[in-house]
Amino acid sequence: MSVNQNLLVVGMSHRTAGVPLLERLALSPGELPGVLAELVGLQYVDEAVVLSTCNRVEIYAAVTAFHGGLADIGGVLAQRAGLAVADLAPQLYVHYEVDAVRHAFRVAAGLDSMVVGEAQILGQLRDAYGTAGEQGTAGRLLHELLQQALRVGKRVHAETEIDRAGQSVVSAALAYGQGATSPIEGRPALVIGAGAMGALSLATLRRAGAAPLYVTNRSHARAERLAELHGAEAVAFAELPSLLERVDVVVSATASPEPVLDAPLLAGAVGAQGHLLVLDLALPRDVAPAVRELAGVTLVDIELLSESLSATADAEERAGEEIVAGEVEAFLTWLRGADVAPTVAALRARADEVVEVELRRLAQRCPELGDEARAEVSRSIHRIVQRLLHQPTVRVRQLAAAPGGEAYAQALRELFDLQIPTSEINPVAAGEVHP
Protein backbone atom coordinates (compact mmCIF):
# COMPACT_ATOMS: atom_id res chain seq x y z
CA MET A 1 0.00 0.00 0.00
CA SER A 2 1.29 3.47 -0.82
CA VAL A 3 1.90 6.26 1.65
CA ASN A 4 -1.39 8.17 1.37
CA GLN A 5 -4.65 7.12 -0.18
CA ASN A 6 -7.52 9.35 -1.21
CA LEU A 7 -10.82 8.51 -2.87
CA LEU A 8 -11.23 9.82 -6.41
CA VAL A 9 -14.03 9.31 -8.94
CA VAL A 10 -13.54 10.30 -12.58
CA GLY A 11 -16.15 9.62 -15.22
CA MET A 12 -18.85 10.77 -17.57
CA SER A 13 -22.54 10.07 -17.88
CA HIS A 14 -25.61 11.08 -19.85
CA ARG A 15 -25.49 14.34 -17.90
CA THR A 16 -22.06 15.39 -19.17
CA ALA A 17 -21.53 13.70 -22.52
CA GLY A 18 -23.41 12.58 -25.60
CA VAL A 19 -23.99 8.98 -26.54
CA PRO A 20 -21.33 8.92 -29.31
CA LEU A 21 -18.61 9.71 -26.76
CA LEU A 22 -20.05 7.32 -24.18
CA GLU A 23 -20.00 4.63 -26.84
CA ARG A 24 -16.29 5.12 -27.39
CA LEU A 25 -15.57 4.75 -23.70
CA ALA A 26 -17.97 1.87 -22.97
CA LEU A 27 -16.29 -1.30 -21.76
CA SER A 28 -17.46 -4.84 -22.32
CA PRO A 29 -17.06 -7.35 -19.45
CA GLY A 30 -14.17 -8.93 -21.30
CA GLU A 31 -12.27 -5.64 -21.46
CA LEU A 32 -12.57 -4.79 -17.77
CA PRO A 33 -9.69 -6.95 -16.42
CA GLY A 34 -7.20 -5.37 -18.82
CA VAL A 35 -8.30 -1.82 -18.01
CA LEU A 36 -8.26 -2.50 -14.26
CA ALA A 37 -4.73 -3.89 -14.50
CA GLU A 38 -3.65 -0.87 -16.53
CA LEU A 39 -5.09 1.52 -13.95
CA VAL A 40 -3.46 -0.01 -10.87
CA GLY A 41 -0.19 -0.19 -12.79
CA LEU A 42 -0.08 3.61 -12.99
CA GLN A 43 2.09 5.68 -10.67
CA TYR A 44 -0.63 7.32 -8.58
CA VAL A 45 -3.42 4.70 -8.64
CA ASP A 46 -3.43 2.02 -5.92
CA GLU A 47 -6.98 0.67 -6.27
CA ALA A 48 -9.58 0.81 -9.03
CA VAL A 49 -13.17 -0.18 -9.79
CA VAL A 50 -14.67 0.53 -13.22
CA LEU A 51 -18.42 0.96 -13.68
CA SER A 52 -19.59 0.88 -17.31
CA THR A 53 -23.33 0.96 -18.05
CA CYS A 54 -25.59 2.11 -20.86
CA ASN A 55 -25.39 5.71 -19.68
CA ARG A 56 -22.20 6.08 -17.62
CA VAL A 57 -18.55 5.13 -17.53
CA GLU A 58 -16.71 6.00 -14.34
CA ILE A 59 -13.64 4.97 -12.41
CA TYR A 60 -13.54 4.74 -8.61
CA ALA A 61 -9.96 4.87 -7.39
CA ALA A 62 -7.76 5.10 -4.33
CA VAL A 63 -4.96 7.45 -5.37
CA THR A 64 -1.80 8.72 -3.68
CA ALA A 65 -2.18 12.28 -5.00
CA PHE A 66 -5.11 14.17 -6.46
CA HIS A 67 -3.46 15.76 -9.49
CA GLY A 68 -1.32 12.73 -10.25
CA GLY A 69 -4.27 10.34 -9.95
CA LEU A 70 -6.46 12.56 -12.09
CA ALA A 71 -3.78 12.77 -14.78
CA ASP A 72 -3.28 8.99 -14.74
CA ILE A 73 -6.99 8.19 -15.01
CA GLY A 74 -7.67 10.97 -17.50
CA GLY A 75 -4.92 9.62 -19.70
CA VAL A 76 -6.46 6.14 -19.78
CA LEU A 77 -9.92 7.52 -20.63
CA ALA A 78 -8.55 9.91 -23.27
CA GLN A 79 -6.60 7.14 -24.96
CA ARG A 80 -9.69 4.97 -25.09
CA ALA A 81 -11.79 7.83 -26.49
CA GLY A 82 -9.13 8.70 -29.05
CA LEU A 83 -8.96 12.29 -27.80
CA ALA A 84 -6.42 14.57 -26.21
CA VAL A 85 -6.88 14.86 -22.44
CA ALA A 86 -7.62 18.58 -22.83
CA ASP A 87 -10.44 17.81 -25.29
CA LEU A 88 -11.94 15.10 -23.10
CA ALA A 89 -11.71 16.99 -19.81
CA PRO A 90 -14.83 19.20 -20.30
CA GLN A 91 -16.96 16.04 -20.62
CA LEU A 92 -15.69 14.52 -17.37
CA TYR A 93 -16.81 14.96 -13.79
CA VAL A 94 -14.36 14.62 -10.91
CA HIS A 95 -15.29 13.85 -7.29
CA TYR A 96 -12.69 13.80 -4.55
CA GLU A 97 -12.68 12.66 -0.91
CA VAL A 98 -16.10 13.44 0.67
CA ASP A 99 -17.65 14.24 -2.71
CA ALA A 100 -16.48 10.86 -4.02
CA VAL A 101 -18.25 9.10 -1.14
CA ARG A 102 -21.43 11.11 -1.75
CA HIS A 103 -21.33 10.39 -5.48
CA ALA A 104 -20.91 6.64 -4.95
CA PHE A 105 -23.87 6.54 -2.55
CA ARG A 106 -26.09 8.61 -4.91
CA VAL A 107 -25.23 6.36 -7.84
CA ALA A 108 -26.07 3.23 -5.85
CA ALA A 109 -29.38 4.74 -4.72
CA GLY A 110 -30.39 5.56 -8.31
CA LEU A 111 -30.40 9.29 -7.56
CA ASP A 112 -27.92 10.01 -10.34
CA SER A 113 -29.60 7.75 -12.89
CA MET A 114 -31.25 8.78 -16.12
CA VAL A 115 -34.44 7.33 -14.69
CA VAL A 116 -34.25 8.48 -11.09
CA GLY A 117 -34.74 5.61 -8.66
CA GLU A 118 -34.08 2.78 -11.11
CA ALA A 119 -32.79 -0.26 -9.25
CA GLN A 120 -30.75 -1.87 -12.00
CA ILE A 121 -27.71 0.24 -11.15
CA LEU A 122 -27.34 -1.72 -7.90
CA GLY A 123 -26.69 -4.91 -9.81
CA GLN A 124 -24.34 -3.15 -12.20
CA LEU A 125 -22.38 -1.63 -9.34
CA ARG A 126 -22.24 -5.01 -7.59
CA ASP A 127 -20.87 -6.61 -10.78
CA ALA A 128 -18.25 -3.86 -11.18
CA TYR A 129 -17.16 -4.31 -7.57
CA GLY A 130 -17.10 -8.10 -7.99
CA THR A 131 -14.89 -7.88 -11.07
CA ALA A 132 -12.45 -5.58 -9.27
CA GLY A 133 -12.40 -8.00 -6.35
CA GLU A 134 -11.64 -10.93 -8.65
CA GLN A 135 -8.84 -8.97 -10.30
CA GLY A 136 -7.40 -7.84 -6.97
CA THR A 137 -7.74 -4.12 -7.77
CA ALA A 138 -10.08 -3.21 -4.89
CA GLY A 139 -8.28 -2.71 -1.58
CA ARG A 140 -9.27 -1.45 1.86
CA LEU A 141 -10.74 1.90 0.82
CA LEU A 142 -12.72 0.72 -2.20
CA HIS A 143 -13.91 -2.44 -0.47
CA GLU A 144 -15.42 -0.37 2.31
CA LEU A 145 -16.76 2.32 -0.04
CA LEU A 146 -18.49 -0.09 -2.42
CA GLN A 147 -19.85 -2.34 0.32
CA GLN A 148 -21.39 0.67 2.03
CA ALA A 149 -22.64 2.12 -1.27
CA LEU A 150 -24.50 -1.10 -2.05
CA ARG A 151 -26.01 -1.12 1.42
CA VAL A 152 -27.07 2.53 1.10
CA GLY A 153 -28.65 1.85 -2.29
CA LYS A 154 -30.71 -0.98 -0.83
CA ARG A 155 -31.71 1.17 2.12
CA VAL A 156 -32.96 4.03 -0.08
CA HIS A 157 -35.09 1.64 -2.12
CA ALA A 158 -36.42 -0.08 1.01
CA GLU A 159 -37.26 3.06 2.97
CA THR A 160 -38.63 5.28 0.20
CA GLU A 161 -40.96 4.77 -2.74
CA ILE A 162 -38.45 6.14 -5.19
CA ASP A 163 -38.94 3.09 -7.41
CA ARG A 164 -42.65 2.69 -6.68
CA ALA A 165 -43.51 2.39 -10.36
CA GLY A 166 -40.83 -0.18 -11.03
CA GLN A 167 -39.15 2.34 -13.30
CA SER A 168 -36.05 1.32 -15.20
CA VAL A 169 -34.42 2.37 -18.42
CA VAL A 170 -36.49 -0.36 -20.10
CA SER A 171 -39.85 0.74 -18.72
CA ALA A 172 -39.05 4.40 -19.39
CA ALA A 173 -38.06 3.63 -22.99
CA LEU A 174 -41.17 1.51 -23.42
CA ALA A 175 -43.38 4.28 -22.06
CA TYR A 176 -41.75 6.80 -24.36
CA GLY A 177 -42.07 4.53 -27.37
CA GLN A 178 -45.73 3.81 -26.75
CA GLY A 179 -46.38 7.52 -27.01
CA ALA A 180 -45.81 7.15 -30.74
CA THR A 181 -47.41 3.72 -31.17
CA SER A 182 -50.39 1.73 -29.97
CA PRO A 183 -50.20 -0.13 -26.61
CA ILE A 184 -48.05 -3.25 -26.71
CA GLU A 185 -50.43 -5.48 -24.78
CA GLY A 186 -51.00 -8.62 -26.81
CA ARG A 187 -48.33 -7.70 -29.35
CA PRO A 188 -45.40 -10.06 -30.12
CA ALA A 189 -42.04 -8.82 -28.85
CA LEU A 190 -38.42 -9.81 -29.27
CA VAL A 191 -35.45 -9.23 -26.97
CA ILE A 192 -31.97 -9.43 -28.47
CA GLY A 193 -29.36 -10.14 -25.81
CA ALA A 194 -29.37 -12.45 -22.80
CA GLY A 195 -27.51 -10.34 -20.26
CA ALA A 196 -28.88 -8.41 -17.28
CA MET A 197 -30.57 -5.81 -19.50
CA GLY A 198 -32.09 -8.56 -21.63
CA ALA A 199 -33.54 -10.22 -18.54
CA LEU A 200 -34.94 -6.91 -17.32
CA SER A 201 -36.42 -6.27 -20.77
CA LEU A 202 -38.22 -9.61 -20.85
CA ALA A 203 -39.60 -9.09 -17.36
CA THR A 204 -40.81 -5.58 -18.26
CA LEU A 205 -42.42 -6.69 -21.51
CA ARG A 206 -44.19 -9.55 -19.78
CA ARG A 207 -45.59 -7.18 -17.13
CA ALA A 208 -46.78 -4.90 -19.92
CA GLY A 209 -48.71 -7.78 -21.48
CA ALA A 210 -46.64 -8.27 -24.64
CA ALA A 211 -47.10 -11.76 -26.09
CA PRO A 212 -45.73 -13.98 -27.37
CA LEU A 213 -42.20 -13.19 -26.18
CA TYR A 214 -39.04 -14.23 -28.02
CA VAL A 215 -35.39 -13.96 -27.03
CA THR A 216 -32.30 -14.50 -29.13
CA ASN A 217 -28.60 -14.34 -28.37
CA ARG A 218 -25.36 -15.40 -30.03
CA SER A 219 -25.04 -17.96 -27.24
CA HIS A 220 -28.22 -19.97 -27.69
CA ALA A 221 -27.78 -21.74 -24.34
CA ARG A 222 -28.00 -18.43 -22.50
CA ALA A 223 -31.07 -17.47 -24.50
CA GLU A 224 -32.72 -20.76 -23.55
CA ARG A 225 -32.02 -20.23 -19.84
CA LEU A 226 -33.46 -16.72 -19.97
CA ALA A 227 -36.50 -17.84 -21.97
CA GLU A 228 -37.29 -20.52 -19.41
CA LEU A 229 -37.22 -17.99 -16.59
CA HIS A 230 -39.55 -15.53 -18.31
CA GLY A 231 -41.97 -17.70 -20.24
CA ALA A 232 -40.45 -16.79 -23.61
CA GLU A 233 -39.30 -18.76 -26.62
CA ALA A 234 -35.59 -18.92 -27.42
CA VAL A 235 -34.81 -18.53 -31.11
CA ALA A 236 -31.46 -19.17 -32.80
CA PHE A 237 -29.56 -15.98 -33.63
CA ALA A 238 -29.31 -17.05 -37.27
CA GLU A 239 -33.11 -16.83 -37.49
CA LEU A 240 -33.13 -13.15 -36.54
CA PRO A 241 -34.14 -11.86 -40.03
CA SER A 242 -37.24 -14.07 -40.21
CA LEU A 243 -38.06 -13.46 -36.54
CA LEU A 244 -38.15 -9.70 -37.13
CA GLU A 245 -41.03 -10.24 -39.54
CA ARG A 246 -43.16 -11.77 -36.78
CA VAL A 247 -42.86 -9.15 -34.04
CA ASP A 248 -44.09 -5.61 -33.39
CA VAL A 249 -41.64 -4.68 -30.63
CA VAL A 250 -37.88 -5.21 -30.54
CA VAL A 251 -35.61 -4.50 -27.58
CA SER A 252 -31.91 -4.82 -28.33
CA ALA A 253 -29.43 -4.89 -25.44
CA THR A 254 -26.25 -6.74 -26.41
CA ALA A 255 -22.59 -6.07 -25.74
CA SER A 256 -21.75 -6.07 -29.46
CA PRO A 257 -19.20 -3.44 -30.53
CA GLU A 258 -21.01 -3.13 -33.88
CA PRO A 259 -24.70 -2.55 -34.73
CA VAL A 260 -26.81 -5.69 -34.61
CA LEU A 261 -29.70 -4.17 -36.55
CA ASP A 262 -29.30 -2.02 -39.67
CA ALA A 263 -31.70 -0.31 -42.06
CA PRO A 264 -31.84 -3.03 -44.76
CA LEU A 265 -32.59 -5.72 -42.18
CA LEU A 266 -35.38 -3.73 -40.53
CA ALA A 267 -36.79 -2.38 -43.78
CA GLY A 268 -37.88 -5.90 -44.68
CA ALA A 269 -39.49 -6.38 -41.30
CA VAL A 270 -41.37 -3.10 -41.60
CA GLY A 271 -42.64 -4.14 -44.97
CA ALA A 272 -44.22 -7.21 -43.41
CA GLN A 273 -45.48 -5.68 -40.16
CA GLY A 274 -46.42 -2.16 -41.15
CA HIS A 275 -44.95 -0.67 -37.97
CA LEU A 276 -42.16 -1.58 -35.60
CA LEU A 277 -41.17 -0.19 -32.21
CA VAL A 278 -37.42 -0.59 -31.64
CA LEU A 279 -35.81 0.10 -28.28
CA ASP A 280 -32.01 0.28 -28.43
CA LEU A 281 -30.72 0.04 -24.85
CA ALA A 282 -27.13 -0.89 -25.66
CA LEU A 283 -23.93 1.06 -25.41
CA PRO A 284 -22.36 1.07 -27.95
CA ARG A 285 -25.61 1.26 -29.88
CA ASP A 286 -27.07 -1.93 -31.32
CA VAL A 287 -29.16 -0.15 -33.96
CA ALA A 288 -27.66 1.79 -36.85
CA PRO A 289 -28.74 5.49 -36.85
CA ALA A 290 -30.12 5.14 -40.39
CA VAL A 291 -32.96 3.01 -38.98
CA ARG A 292 -34.51 6.21 -37.63
CA GLU A 293 -35.21 7.30 -41.22
CA LEU A 294 -37.25 4.20 -42.07
CA ALA A 295 -40.96 4.75 -42.55
CA GLY A 296 -42.99 2.76 -40.09
CA VAL A 297 -40.20 2.53 -37.49
CA THR A 298 -40.14 4.22 -34.11
CA LEU A 299 -36.62 4.05 -32.70
CA VAL A 300 -35.95 4.94 -29.09
CA ASP A 301 -32.31 4.86 -28.03
CA ILE A 302 -30.35 6.03 -25.01
CA GLU A 303 -29.64 9.42 -26.59
CA LEU A 304 -33.30 10.16 -27.29
CA LEU A 305 -34.35 8.84 -23.89
CA SER A 306 -31.82 11.03 -22.12
CA GLU A 307 -33.18 14.12 -23.84
CA SER A 308 -36.77 13.27 -22.99
CA LEU A 309 -36.43 12.52 -19.29
CA SER A 310 -36.44 15.39 -16.84
CA ALA A 311 -34.67 15.35 -13.48
CA THR A 312 -37.42 16.88 -11.37
CA ALA A 313 -37.01 16.20 -7.65
CA ASP A 314 -40.06 14.94 -5.82
CA ALA A 315 -40.59 14.01 -2.18
CA GLU A 316 -39.16 10.51 -2.61
CA GLU A 317 -36.00 11.87 -4.19
CA ARG A 318 -35.59 14.31 -1.34
CA ALA A 319 -36.05 11.46 1.15
CA GLY A 320 -33.38 9.49 -0.70
CA GLU A 321 -31.02 12.46 -0.63
CA GLU A 322 -31.54 12.82 3.13
CA ILE A 323 -30.65 9.16 3.66
CA VAL A 324 -27.53 9.55 1.52
CA ALA A 325 -26.45 12.67 3.43
CA GLY A 326 -26.71 10.83 6.75
CA GLU A 327 -24.90 7.79 5.40
CA VAL A 328 -22.06 9.91 4.04
CA GLU A 329 -21.50 11.39 7.49
CA ALA A 330 -21.68 7.92 9.05
CA PHE A 331 -19.08 6.65 6.58
CA LEU A 332 -16.76 9.53 7.37
CA THR A 333 -17.24 8.91 11.09
CA TRP A 334 -16.28 5.27 10.56
CA LEU A 335 -13.17 6.33 8.64
CA ARG A 336 -12.15 8.75 11.35
CA GLY A 337 -12.69 6.10 14.03
CA ALA A 338 -10.84 3.48 12.04
CA ASP A 339 -7.93 5.78 11.45
CA VAL A 340 -7.38 6.63 15.12
CA ALA A 341 -7.04 2.91 15.88
CA PRO A 342 -3.36 2.71 14.79
CA THR A 343 -2.57 5.65 17.09
CA VAL A 344 -4.28 4.01 20.07
CA ALA A 345 -2.58 0.70 19.31
CA ALA A 346 0.80 2.44 19.06
CA LEU A 347 0.25 4.18 22.40
CA ARG A 348 -0.60 0.92 24.14
CA ALA A 349 2.39 -0.77 22.51
CA ARG A 350 4.64 2.06 23.71
CA ALA A 351 3.26 1.63 27.25
CA ASP A 352 3.89 -2.13 27.11
CA GLU A 353 7.47 -1.52 25.98
CA VAL A 354 8.09 0.88 28.90
CA VAL A 355 6.62 -1.62 31.37
CA GLU A 356 8.75 -4.47 30.04
CA VAL A 357 11.92 -2.38 30.23
CA GLU A 358 11.19 -1.42 33.84
CA LEU A 359 10.37 -5.00 34.80
CA ARG A 360 13.71 -6.17 33.41
CA ARG A 361 15.47 -3.46 35.42
CA LEU A 362 13.58 -4.53 38.53
CA ALA A 363 14.69 -8.13 38.02
CA GLN A 364 18.30 -7.01 37.73
CA ARG A 365 18.16 -4.75 40.81
CA CYS A 366 16.19 -7.13 43.00
CA PRO A 367 17.32 -10.63 42.09
CA GLU A 368 16.03 -11.88 45.44
CA LEU A 369 12.43 -11.52 44.22
CA GLY A 370 10.92 -14.90 43.48
CA ASP A 371 8.94 -15.77 40.33
CA GLU A 372 5.63 -15.38 42.10
CA ALA A 373 6.52 -11.93 43.43
CA ARG A 374 7.79 -10.74 40.04
CA ALA A 375 4.59 -12.01 38.38
CA GLU A 376 2.43 -10.12 40.89
CA VAL A 377 4.44 -6.91 40.38
CA SER A 378 4.09 -7.33 36.60
CA ARG A 379 0.31 -7.77 36.83
CA SER A 380 0.00 -4.75 39.12
CA ILE A 381 2.02 -2.46 36.87
CA HIS A 382 0.11 -3.57 33.76
CA ARG A 383 -3.21 -2.95 35.52
CA ILE A 384 -2.12 0.54 36.55
CA VAL A 385 -0.96 1.41 33.04
CA GLN A 386 -4.13 0.07 31.41
CA ARG A 387 -6.31 2.03 33.83
CA LEU A 388 -4.35 5.20 33.18
CA LEU A 389 -4.67 4.72 29.41
CA HIS A 390 -8.31 3.63 29.36
CA GLN A 391 -10.01 7.01 29.69
CA PRO A 392 -7.67 8.89 27.30
CA THR A 393 -7.98 6.23 24.60
CA VAL A 394 -11.77 6.03 24.91
CA ARG A 395 -11.97 9.81 24.78
CA VAL A 396 -9.68 10.19 21.79
CA ARG A 397 -11.83 7.69 19.87
CA GLN A 398 -14.91 9.75 20.66
CA LEU A 399 -13.24 13.02 19.71
CA ALA A 400 -11.74 11.55 16.53
CA ALA A 401 -15.22 10.48 15.35
CA ALA A 402 -16.31 14.12 15.19
CA PRO A 403 -15.54 16.44 12.25
CA GLY A 404 -12.00 17.73 12.66
CA GLY A 405 -11.29 15.01 15.21
CA GLU A 406 -8.08 13.91 13.48
CA ALA A 407 -6.36 16.81 15.31
CA TYR A 408 -6.72 14.90 18.59
CA ALA A 409 -5.10 11.76 17.22
CA GLN A 410 -2.35 13.90 15.71
CA ALA A 411 -1.76 15.59 19.07
CA LEU A 412 -1.51 12.17 20.75
CA ARG A 413 1.07 11.05 18.21
CA GLU A 414 3.15 14.18 18.79
CA LEU A 415 2.89 14.16 22.59
CA PHE A 416 4.12 10.57 22.87
CA ASP A 417 6.35 10.68 19.76
CA LEU A 418 4.44 7.76 18.21
CA GLN A 419 5.68 6.66 14.81
CA ILE A 420 2.68 5.52 12.77
CA PRO A 421 3.20 4.30 9.18
CA THR A 422 1.54 6.94 7.00
CA SER A 423 -0.18 4.19 5.04
CA GLU A 424 -2.31 3.54 8.13
CA ILE A 425 -3.57 7.13 8.31
CA ASN A 426 -6.27 7.96 5.77
CA PRO A 427 -6.29 11.60 4.63
CA VAL A 428 -9.87 11.21 3.33
CA ALA A 429 -11.08 10.92 6.89
CA ALA A 430 -8.55 13.33 8.27
CA GLY A 431 -9.25 16.01 5.72
CA GLU A 432 -5.52 16.67 5.46
CA VAL A 433 -5.04 16.41 1.70
CA HIS A 434 -6.80 18.65 -0.78
CA PRO A 435 -6.35 19.29 -4.48
Say if residue 127's pLDDT is above 60. Answer: yes
- pLDDT class of 313 with cuts at 50, 70, 90: very low
189 neighbors 210 (Cβ within 8 angstroms):
yes
**What pLDDT was estimated at residue 92?**
96
366 belongs to the catalytic site: no
**What pLDDT was estimated at residue 330?**
84
- pLDDT class of 434 with cuts at 50, 70, 90: very low
Q: Tell me what percent of the residues of the chain surpass a pLDDT of 70.
A: 88
Summarised one tens digit per residue, pLDDT across range 261-279 is: 999 999 877 755 678 899 9
Say if residue 311's pLDDT is above 50. Answer: no
Cβ within 8 Å of residue 291, ≥6 positions away: 261, 262, 263, 266, 278, 297, 299
- pLDDT class of 167 with cuts at 50, 70, 90: low
Say if residue 283's pLDDT is above 90. Answer: no
Domains located in the chain, CATH noted: 6-165 (3.30.460.30), 184-308 (3.40.50.720), 330-430 (no CATH)
Q: Which residues pair with 11 in a beta bridge?
A: 58, 93
**What pLDDT was estimated at residue 178?**
72
3-class DSSP assignment, residue 198 = helix
Say if residue 14's pLDDT is above 70. Answer: yes
**What pLDDT was estimated at residue 275?**
83
**What pLDDT was estimated at residue 432?**
42
Q: Which of 25, 26, 54, 94 is catalytic?
A: 54
Cβ within 8 Å of residue 315, ≥6 positions away: none
